[in-house]
Structure 1
Amino acid sequence: MSRFLGIDTSCYTTSAAVYDSSRGLVGEERIVLSVNNGSRGLSQSNMVFQHTRNLPVILKRLSPLLTQLEAAGVSSFPRRRADSYMPAFLVGKGTAESLTAALHIPLYEFSHQENHALAAIRNYPDLWGRPFYMIHMSGGTQDVLSCSWSGDFMEISLLIKSKDITAGQFIDRIGVSLGLHFPCGRDLEKLAQSGDSSYFIPCSSVKGSFSFSGPETRVQRDILKGIYRSEDIARGVLAHIGNALEKELTGFPFEPGRPFIAVGGVMSNAYIRHRFMDICQKLNLLPCFADIAYSSDNATGNAFGAFMRYSHENIQCQ
């Protein structure tokens, strides 16, 4: 039995997880960063402060499982690109570097985006080493990607992105205006369940990128009018995101038959998941998800990735 630690310090969640070579995921802890009521985000310095405070608490909770560690994985940057940098990830990286140096075990660095992909691949281990598509929808990202492999390393190329705000930002900004607490995804989904389809937001006629800035302006204006129910607006926002997904994805020349991983906090929404599954069926693509609990920010992907990288390296050395 060997165990592998994963750490992720993203914009709004401090996370750690432990993966066991025999039993799979055996432990996972996270603390969502505190955001003041009415606020729509945090400064990087506040993120760093809260991660620095939270990470020892999380690791203490997991301490009974932190035996027989063979390696660790950590999110060191948002994307695996030279220009991809965010101070929040340095908290997790520094902790992981200190811990692995003290224990004399390997540290594997992943991007936050790769961590999300690996959280889904944990459910579909046969995808390791196989090309796939991925959509990453969160508060800070709205990317459709093509993923191939060079050995055990993912090579990710961008296919479609947002030209302004992301679906996650759209949800959070409208949610805050409706009186919900940031981040608003879960509460807006719950609110939308009581809504009807009377509130409609038309999609842009332009294809080739996502755009939610115009729809947000329209919805904010309608909220101020006070003539629409909050639950109908919430349902209309989710329906619009689903329609935007269908417009952009059905307009792209995907290779039929390939797996299509869907991750990020927005993809923990049941309605968006079902719309994505319907779209994949139309395009003859295989939809693959992380479990809903592990679609939003967490460290399970890094723990699993450390296990896979360590296992392959040691097989090659034998």
Structure 2
Amino acid sequence: MKLQNSYILAIESSCDDTSCAILKNNQVLSNVTAAQAIHEQYGGVVPELASRAHQSNIVPTVDVAIKNAGIDKNELTAIAFTKGPGLMGSLLVGTSFAKSLALSLNIPLIDVHHMQAHILAHFIDHGQRVPEFPFLGVTISGGHTQIVRVTDYHKMEVIGTTQDDAIGEAFDKSGKLMGLGYPAGPQIDKLAQLGNPSAFEFPIPKAPGLNFSFSGFKTAVLYFLQKEKSKNPNFVEENLADLCASIQHTLIKILFKKLEKAVKETGIKRVAIGGGVSANSGIRTALQAKQQQGWDIFIPPFEYTTDNAAMIGISAYFKYLNQEFCGLDVSAAPRLSM
């Protein structure tokens, strides 16, 4: 029997953003995120500062989400939270708050896998087409690069993953080497549209099977810039747009080389992308080109690509339908596997 009119409060605190959403069944009533600007001055996320900021942000963020949803907290039917993977300190804040709230309201608690949630964001109802099973879920972010075979809402198999760094980190670290601020990915994307993607050539790292490797790419960019700046100290400033275009072109080439292989090996042409890097215009253009070649492409709205609580809520919704709850003894799991 299908349950009706569930009201799930979802909390996402895996990294540096504190997010809370309210979902009525599979529709989002509110989705509020408190970003942490403090990390910009360090060029990356500082775990201790992130967890402290979560402690300051979580109560007001939850409060605003409930008010924006136009419901009373006593109408909630379940509390969902990110169990992992992520930063331990950050996860603990969300986990502890969710457990306390569920206990005080005497309602079920639902633990959610962060990476599964990125994929299931495609099923948030906003009048769009949703992918049919099976499909390939591609999660690309600052911490993850994965190709996942999805056969049901919570039946997922990782068939390709990064062996070292994620594609988002490759964008950010390359940007840092060129003097761009954090996060550098969106800045590279913007500048790349003004440059020549064939201006400079960077190597394509080798990784077995459907796996990825981006560590060698970052090193190649480092050595290339050091060499060129030794000859011309103003090299980066004079070639910034071309550098960004060439770097972005290479990273997209690395991604699609493995994605094309995955489609060929599995025979699955339905591809659903997720994660913060899926907002990249170059990646979206490349996906649209594949659609012309017969792939069935699914890209969620921008607000559901970066870390957000709405995706935690939709993942929890499908667990709620099956009455898959967890106990109050549940713990945060920073290295939670798929």
Helix, strand or coil: the match of 1:188? helix
* Map 1:118-267 → 2, pairs under 5 A: 118-123=120-125, 127=131, 130-149=133-152, 154-197=154-197, 198-204=199-205, 208=209, 209-224=211-226, 225=229, 226-228=234-236, 229-252=239-262, 253-267=264-278
1:56 shift after superposition: 1.4
Q: Label 1:51 to 1:4 Cα distance change in 2 as closer, same or farther (>3 A).
A: same
Q: Label 1:54 to 1:109 Cα distance change in 2 as closer, same or farther (>3 A).
A: same
Q: Does 1:5 align with 2:12?
A: no
1:132 shift after superposition: 2.4
1:262 shift after superposition: 0.9
Helix, strand or coil: the match of 2:298? strand
Matching residue's letter, 2:158: L
1:94 shift after superposition: 1.2
Helix, strand or coil: the match of 1:251? helix
1:206 shift after superposition: 5.5
Check whether the contact 2:14–2:84 (CA below 8 A) recurs between aligned residues: no
Supply the distance in 1 between the matched residues of 2:141 and 2:47 (Cα, whole angstroms): 17
Which residue does 2:101 correspond to in 1?
99
Matching residue's letter, 1:182: Y
1:50 shift after superposition: 1.5
Supply the distance in 1 between the matched residues of 2:174 and 2:105 (Cα, whole angstroms): 46
Q: Does 1:41 align with 2:44?
A: yes
Cα deviation digits, residues 45-70 of structure 1 (max 9, x gap): 22211111111121122231352212
Cα deviation digits, residues 20-72 of structure 1 (max 9, x gap): 248x2121111222344453323432221111111112112223135221222
Helix, strand or coil: the match of 2:77? strand
RMSD: 2.6
Match of 1:27 among 26, 30, 40: 30
Matching residue's letter, 2:21: A
Q: Does 1:116 align with 2:127?
A: no
Helix, strand or coil: the match of 1:210? coil
Helix, strand or coil: the match of 2:212? coil
1:127 shift after superposition: 4.7
Helix, strand or coil: the match of 1:26? strand
Supply the distance in 1 between the matched residues of 2:112 and 2:45 (Cα, whole angstroms): 24
Q: Does 1:76 align with 2:83?
A: yes
Q: Label 1:44 to 1:85 Cα distance change in 2 as closer, same or farther (>3 A).
A: closer
Q: Label 1:132 to 1:103 Cα distance change in 2 as closer, same or farther (>3 A).
A: same
Supply the distance in 1 between the matched residues of 2:206 and 2:290 (Cα, whole angstroms): 19
Q: Return 180-189 or 222-231, whichever deviates more.
A: 222-231
Which residue does 1:81 correspond to in 2?
none
Check whether the contact 1:115–1:299 (CA below 8 A) recurs between aligned residues: no
Supply the distance in 2 between the matched residues of 1:75 and 1:125 (Cα, whole angstroms): 26
Check whether the contact 1:133–1:261 (CA below 8 A) recurs between aligned residues: yes
Supply the distance in 1 between the matched residues of 2:246 and 2:100 (Cα, whole angstroms): 47
Matching residue's letter, 1:227: F
Supply the distance in 2 between the matched residues of 1:221 and 1:38 (Cα, whole angstroms): 25
The percent of aligned pairs where both chains have the same amino acid is 24
Check whether the contact 2:39–2:46 (CA below 8 A) recurs between aligned residues: no
| TM-score normalised by L of structure 1 | 0.85
Stretches of structure 2 lacking an aligned partner (at least 5 in a row): 325-338
Count of residue pairs brought into register by the alignment: 303
Match of 2:22 among 18, 22, 26: 18
1:289 shift after superposition: 2.0
Supply the distance in 2 between the matched residues of 1:223 and 1:254 (Cα, whole angstroms): 37
Q: Label 1:46 to 1:37 Cα distance change in 2 as closer, same or farther (>3 A).
A: closer
Q: Label 1:279 to 1:39 Cα distance change in 2 as closer, same or farther (>3 A).
A: farther
Match of 1:292 among 302, 305, 308: 302
Supply the distance in 2 between the matched residues of 1:192 and 1:126 (Cα, whole angstroms): 31
